[in-house]
Amino acid sequence: MKQKRPLTGTITAIFSVIKKSLKGETIDYTTGSIRLSVILLAIPMMLEMCMESVFALVDLYFVGHLENSSFAVQTVGLTESVLTIVYSLAIGISMAATAVVARRIGEKDPEAAARAGMQAILIAILINVVISGLGVYFGTDILKLMGAGPEAAVQGTPFIRIMIGGSLVIMLLFLINGIFRGAGNAAIAMKSLWIANLSNIILCPIFINGLGPVPAFGLTGAAIATTLGRSIGVTYQLYHLFNGNSALKVALSYFKPSPDIIRSIVKIASPAVLQFVIASCSWIFLAQLVARTGGDHGSAGYQTAMRLMMFFLLPAWGLSNAAATLVGQNLGAKEIARAEESVLKTAKYNVMYMLAVMLVSLLGAGFLVDSFTNDPLVRDYAVEAVRIIACGYVFYGIGMVMINAFNGAGDTWTPTLVNLVGFWLFQIPLAYVLAKHYGMGPRGVFLALPIAETGITIASFILFKRGKWKTVKV
């Protein structure tokens, strides 16, 4: 019996931590066990990002079983590639919001944190008005520019118009969750994504295949369902923002434009947005290169592999978000050594996760791909891409933590410059040379991904150890 008590106690403690992390209690992350702080933040953040990755996979699954599925899969993939620009803007602004909100929470000034969050939402709304208009008007042209054939572009036009036209909910979903994460309330962020995804899963088959009075919209139905699902998630977020049952107490007066706060957020957000736009544009170029060298089947296979990659990487990104919150709050509390140690512990846990993901991807690539396409040529490209990309997963995991550590400190320029060199001056030229000059086609693009990400991670770690991020004022 004596031998069983420690095991029972350990299991009880584990469930207690999980329950606490999912409950969403207000916790001071500037004191106590760093390991516990990382775990309490990481669990809901990983589950949140798992749900974000499910959006594209749900769409991909349902449209992958439509007639002319290669057109449908290509449209979903190419639209997602374009939407990475929206994601970049949303993530960049949310990074700024997380950094400022976390710093104010660390300084024990929740009112200033709430005001900063609301000003970030104002900025996002203004930016999105332009993006939505351009997406609706130039939908067909965008698909053609991305490498889609004439027929695929025509069939995919309603899909891309709805997705980009409704991109405000994408931005708000990311941004408001960034605000909650900065405040240390990762549980609400997680729950909003769960609600949005559950809604999407229910609505997708209804709008794609039809049910009762709802006609079968096919590919367009996937866009309708996804936009509605995200809108439901945003409604949940807004309820909790104004309900006041968290560290943030929001009032309508906080939406009154404050030039000082807006300048502070823009100062951090501008390089943060550029940072992700650089990465996104690189991915768009690579998607276009695969489409031109591998045709519709190569493009569809690559997009399938990328959706699977994001499914595995987004939880790692969620775990690495814990570093951003801990760095921001601990720098605000003048606990610099604790901030650095939090990053290193987070990186350690991310490596463990990515090792497991790498093994699953290498050994089960065929099984994973089979769920998303019934086209043998698409499958062959996808399986090869999954296995090659997986070889760099451990480095991806470390690199994500480093990027979020810089961003959480408000040092958004460092990862921006690293991305500029790593993606535009290394990854894109490498992919082009391998695909075109050496005649490797899509395989050359697949190889360029893990090679470039490894270099980016090494550079980021060196810069992190130099410690400039510790002196940034927010």
Q: Is 217 found in the same domain as 163? A: yes
Per-residue 3-state assignment (H helix, E strand, C coil) for the chain: CCCHHHHHHHHHHHHHHHHHHHHCCCCCCCCCCHHHHHHHHHHHHHHHHHHHHHHHHHHHHHHCCCCCHHHHHHHHHHHHHHHHHHHHHHHHHHHHHHHHHHHHHHCCCHHHHHHHHHHHHHHHHHHHHHHHHHHHHCHHHHHHHCCCCHHHHHHHHHHHHHHHHCHHHHHHHHHHHHHHHHCCCHHHHHHHHHHHHHHHHHHHHHHHHCECCECCCCHHHHHHHHHHHHHHHHHHHHHHHHHCCCCCCCCHHHHCCCHHHHHHHHHHHHHHHHHHHHHHHHHHHHHHHHHHHHHHHHHHHHHHHHHHHHHHHHHHHHHHHHHHHHHHHHHHCCCHHHHHHHHHHHHHHHHHHHHHHHHHHHHHHHHHHHCCCCCHHHHHHHHHHHHHHHCCHHHHHHHHHHHHHHHHHCCCHHHHHHHHHHHHHHHHHHHHHHHHHCCCCHHHHHHHHHHHHHHHHHHHHHHHHHCHHHHCCC
Q: Would you state the pLDDT for residue 348?
A: 93
Residues of the chain short of pLDDT 50, as ranges, are 1-2, 4
pLDDT value at residue 317: 86
Q: Are residues 194 and 88 in the same domain?
A: yes
Same-domain status, 183 and 235 = yes
Residues 285, 242: one domain? no
For residue range 322-375, list pLDDT tens digits in order: 999 999 999 999 999 999 999 999 999 999 999 999 999 999 988 888 877 777
Which of 211, 234, 257 delimits the end of a domain? 257
Residue 228 is predicted with a pLDDT of 94
Residue span of the structural domain in which 165 resides: 33-257
Domain count, the chain: 2
Q: Tell me: do 220 and 281 sit in the same domain.
A: no
Q: Is residue 263 part of a domain?
A: no
pTM of full prediction above 0.95: no
Q: Supply the pLDDT for residue 244.
A: 63
Q: What's the pLDDT score for residue 399?
A: 93
| 338 in the same domain as 249 | no
Asked if residue 291 and residue 210 are part of one domain, the reply reads no
Evaluate whether residue 21 is within a structural domain.
Answer: no
Of 195, 225, 257, which one is at a domain's C-terminal end? 257
Q: What is the pLDDT of residue 2?
A: 46
Condensed to tens digits (0 to 9), the pLDDT of residues 401-458 reads 999 999 999 999 999 999 999 999 999 999 999 998 888 989 999 999 999 999 999 9
| Residue 11 included in any domain | no
